[in-house]
Amino acid sequence: FYVEDPEQDTLLYVNEAEARISSLNIKRDGLVLTDALVDGARFKLREMASGELNVRPIVNRLTKQKGKSTFKMYIDHIHGSDLRFSYERPEYGIDYYDMDIRNVECCLEDFKVVEGAVSAEIKEMYALERSGFEIDDLRGYFNVNMGVIEFENFVARTKRSNISIPSFIIDGENWNEYKQYIDMVDMRGRVENSSLSTYDLGFFAPGVRKWDLTLSQVDGSFSGVVRDFMAYVTHAKVGNETIVEA
pLDDT value of position 91 = 44
The whole-angstrom separation of Cα 105 and Cα 126 is 5
Q: Do strands 214-225 and 186-197 pair parallel, antiparallel, or not at all (unpaired)?
A: antiparallel
| Cα angle value 79/62/169 (rounded, 5°) | 60
| 64 band by pLDDT with thresholds 50, 70 and 90 | low
Q: Where are the beta strands (DSSP E) in the chain?
A: 2-4, 10-23, 31-46, 72-88, 99-114, 117-129, 134-135, 137-145, 148-157, 162-171, 186-197, 214-225, 228-238, 242-245
The closest of 23, 111, 116 to 75, measured between CA atoms, is: 111
Whether 166 has a pLDDT exceeding 60, the answer reads yes
- Mean pLDDT value of segment 127-145: 90
Who wins on pLDDT, 34 or 201? Answer: 34
Distance from CA of residue 224 to its chain's centroid? Answer: 18
Q: CA Rg, the chain, in Å?
A: 20
- Mean pLDDT value of segment 45-64: 71
| 238 band by pLDDT with thresholds 50, 70 and 90 | confident
- Mean pLDDT value of segment 101-105: 88
Whether 65 has a pLDDT exceeding 70, the answer reads no
pTM: 0.69
Who wins on pLDDT, 56 or 127? Answer: 127
Taking only the tens place, the pLDDT of each residue in 171-197 is: 987 777 777 777 888 999 999 999 999
Taking only the tens place, the pLDDT of each residue in 81-91 is: 988 888 765 44
Distances (CA, A) of 174 to 145, 146, 166, 187, 242: 9, 6, 24, 14, 44
Who wins on pLDDT, 49 or 196? Answer: 196
pLDDT value of position 54 = 81
Q: Which residues contact 94 (CB under 8 A, 6 or more apart)?
A: none
* Mean per-residue pLDDT over the chain, rounded: 82
Please report, to the nearest 10 degrees, the dihedral formed by the alpha carbons of residues 84, 90, 94, 97 taken in order: -20
pLDDT value of position 124 = 94
Whether 244 has a pLDDT exceeding 90, the answer reads no
Whether 39 has a pLDDT exceeding 80, the answer reads yes
pLDDT value of position 63 = 57
Whether 70 has a pLDDT exceeding 80, the answer reads no
The whole-angstrom separation of Cα 198 and Cα 212 is 6
CB 7 within 8 A of CB 48: yes
DSSP code for 176: G
pLDDT value of position 245 = 65
